[in-house]
Every structure is written in C-alpha cells, then in structure tokens.
C-alpha cells in the first residue's frame, strides 16, 4: 500500500536536487473486495490523465506504479448492490 502523504514524482529535479513532484497521495485503504490497496490523490491535470501510470516512491527506495482511474472504478453500474 502507498503511505498517506506520499509524493507522486515527475521528471527532473529542482534547484535543491530533489525530484520534481506532480501530486500527492491524500488517503490509502486496503480493499478486501479487490484484495489490494487503493488510494486517492491530487495530481496535476488528473481528469485529463485517466489511464496513465505514475511513480510513487516509498520510504526505503522502492517505487510503486499507480494507475490514474475514475473515482468510481468498481461496479460503476451498481449491479453488485442489486443482488
């Protein structure tokens, strides 16, 4: 899972040598239905970037690849609630 507050990195580095950022993870949760972590984030031009994959570094150096998707990404039609 991604840590809350993690930065979503962009290409290049700033004047201090730090990675440029394009967004930040605002909240993360484990989804028992999907059996994996899910997260919400604020990212530059997010609505225009559906389907893109971005890098989110974690403490320790490993990088998680995250896909930008719509906020309603599971059972959009609501079929699961009409069982």
pLDDT tens digit sequence for 2-50: 889 999 999 999 999 999 999 999 999 998 988 988 999 999 999 999 9
Domains of the chain with bracketed CATH: 7-71 (2.40.30)
Query: What is each CA distance from 67 to 18, 70, 71, 82, in whole angstroms?
Result: 23, 10, 12, 28
Task: Categorize the per-residue pLDDT at 66 as very low, low, confident or very high, splitting at 50, 70 and 90.
Answer: very high
Nearest-Å Rg of the Cα atoms of the chain is 15
CA–chain centroid gap for 75, Å, is 19
Task: Categorize the per-residue pLDDT at 83 as very low, low, confident or very high, splitting at 50, 70 and 90.
Answer: low
pLDDT at 3: 87
Its pTM stands at: 0.77
């Amino acid at each position: 899972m991604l840590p809350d507050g993690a930065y979503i990195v962009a290409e290049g580095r700033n004047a201090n040598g730090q990675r440029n950022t394009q967004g930040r993870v605002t909240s993360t949760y484990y989804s028992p239905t999907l059996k994996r972590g899910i997260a919400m984030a604020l990212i530059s031009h997010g609505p225009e970037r559906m389907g893109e994959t971005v890098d989110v570094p974690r403490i320790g150096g490993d990088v998680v690849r995250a896909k930008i998707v719509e906020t309603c990404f599971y059972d959009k039609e609501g079929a699961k609630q009409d069982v």
